[in-house]
A and B are shown apart, each in its own frame.
Chain A
Amino acid sequence: MDKIGGMRRTSFWACITVCMTLLSHLSHGLGTPAGTLIKNRASLDYTVAGNTLSTQSQEASIKVQELINVLVQSQDAGNSVLVPVGASQAALLFQITNNGNSDEAFALTQSDLTGDDFDIGVNFDQIYIDTDTSDGGRFNSLVDTLYDNASAPVLAPDESINVWAVSLNFPNGLAANEQADVQLDALAKTFEGSGSLPTYGDVITDGNASGVDAIYGSSPSNSKASAAFIIDNPLISVSIEQEILSILDTDGGDIARTGSEVTYQLTVTIEGAGGDATNIVITDPLPAELRLKNGASGMITLVGSGDYTAAVDGDLAEYNEVNNTIKVALPDLTVVTPAVQQFIRFTTIIQ
């Protein structure tokens, strides 16, 4: 019989409520140890015909049973870690805490969740216990301890361990920000052999602690936690080359002198292994001897996007007459290996 089943006379909804009531009770950490006898004996003083008398009740005692309660929590900032494209190994860090009232070991498993961008699948590796405190919070398979379900560490009440859930061989085809959600489950070893996953309120007669029953008190949300591997934005580099496309002097020649028109092209090269390049702004301060042709009424061309007036009017290109500076905001770009290029053209007058 289970603890919840003991309330069979009540309705289904009543049982649900009992579960929820118990849930709030069981959310404690360290509690009275399993097997502790809680004893109670009342006493009574009274008088009969002027004589003072005393009596005591029998001792009422009850033994505290074994509470199985585990809390799994992600220890990664934002419940995620960034993984470079093609990484051969990455690890998520989880904390397992025994919130029960008796020693308990836990069987740990990691699995894929749905609704994300890619799965780890066959590339799930082992789970390691974070036993190396000198590694600056990084996983190191040479010094951290391989978790072995057959000899899982026994945690005292309120004791915690950190474990690494390790995955291997992230494929090259993944784009930046794609993520794989991974779940770590902790199942109390006392309930491991019960044939099916325990539910809240299940009882195992004479559980792990000697002489008392084990009662499963972990809520579904506490016995597991999830975190994500997120493909990192690949390293993107931006370089700019400047060249003169043409010179047109006032006599129709190509001599660079006062009054000549000099047309420049800026070639912007964006290199990376894939992903999005956003918010790139190109700023080109002109030397004092050059001014943009027609000033704020002039034009700046972003090849492939169009011609933009040089006025400060909210479009992609502008010319600041005071600072004598060209500024172009590139549209968001998808970087295709090995690079994409953008071309900016404008014409100046030699002063």
Chain B
Amino acid sequence: MMVLLVLLIGAQFFLGCGIAVRLQAVRTTYSLIGLSMLIGLGVSSFVPFIVQFSGLPIVASTVIGGVVGLAILSVFSLRSKKERLPFWAGRNDLAISLYEIPFLIVWLYLLFISVWKCNWFPNTTFDTIVGPDLLARFAVQEQTLVSSVFTKHLPNVSVFSNQPFYAPFTAMQQIMYLLATEQTGVFAFGKLWLTLLVFSFGLFLYADMRERIHPVLAGTLVTILAFAPELFAYTFLVQTDWANAAFFASGVILFQRYVETGQNGSFWSITLLLALACWTRTETIFFVPIGAMILVIKRIRVNPTDAIKQSAIFMLVCLLPVLFWNYGFLRTYMPLPINAHLGAFRWVETDYLTRLLRIVQNMNDRVVFHASYWNYTVPIFLSLSLLNLFIFRDKRGLTVLVWIVGVYVLFAMILQHVEGANIQYTFRRGFFKLLFLMCFYLSTTSLFRWLSIRLVVWEKTQTVKPAD
């Protein structure tokens, strides 16, 4: 059991590592470790489909064998690009400063109990056991993705909502980890991937912010985020939203790097991560135009054709997983149960603005300013952002702010127009994305940069020893 599990985790990591290094997505070893696992988790979730389409059974040898095969290809493709590995290039960036240890202790304290809760308990949340884990459990039992859930159960019941149809990434991870653990032992319920995802994203976020600002400031921001109870709860409750937020925020973090440096590899990394975000939750496709718009605005003066071409590629690639799952797999390869009604669009003909404003007010009252969900994260973000704008009045980090405002406004539109989208569940869990971006935004502001420079200067200043 442990051999298969180690093999799967290792294969996912090396699969992601090969892609991340090839795309030259990051510069430091910690960022690379975090991003490799994230990309590996995302890309490997397509393997069960390859196995299914090849007419092979969904069993450990085919699925895990497939991931291992891809990982070998991915690493093999790096043989002439070893110098792109940060540690290969002689950069020793693994050292941790003494002052980072208190933060690490707090995070480990929270992470430890999250790991235990995640892996000791079976899946219990309603949305998961009637959605992704239902699909996974029967796919493993019946060795096919087109299991009796789709062919026998759903067509014969009158009550069911869209949970089985919206979380392919979560379902595929559950399948892979259920196969790897053989449903026995400590990790019997197949949820270990969530722990790995939380750890990888946390590492990537911290490593990226640590590059931008002093580690103490980066540590403070991550700790503020770690103290958000609702966000913490979903580090052990399997759903698709934490993964969605992690892929989305990683994409935006790299997007910011791309805007700052214009490095070509970053563009493909952003596209891949945002496509994976769309894979984890279909509605994310509505947020992709924000990035496309920024790309056009940034490059239109330099090269208009290139700007439009690049943003079109960006949107099309992000659209692919949405089309693949919703139309390729669900409606073509495997016909939907006749009684399934998914994601209908709702026209609003009267009182458009009044309704929209009511939605915005409810979003704020029930989620954004609901203190017991996020403790102090939102007030800290708002007050520090205002302080930054008041003192510095510059555009630093503006792109991230555009993402935050854009996602917020588009969420209001989604709630207004998409049947089944609601504030209590859709927006509350979708808000994770915004929390990550709020935290990241602060790390890009002039205020944090200024504080950071002060700290670094003081830390590095070498006072001359006075004469004895």
User: Are A and B subunits of one complex?
Assistant: no
* Residues in A lying within 8 Å of B, measured CB to CB: none
Footprint of A on B, CB under 8 Å? none
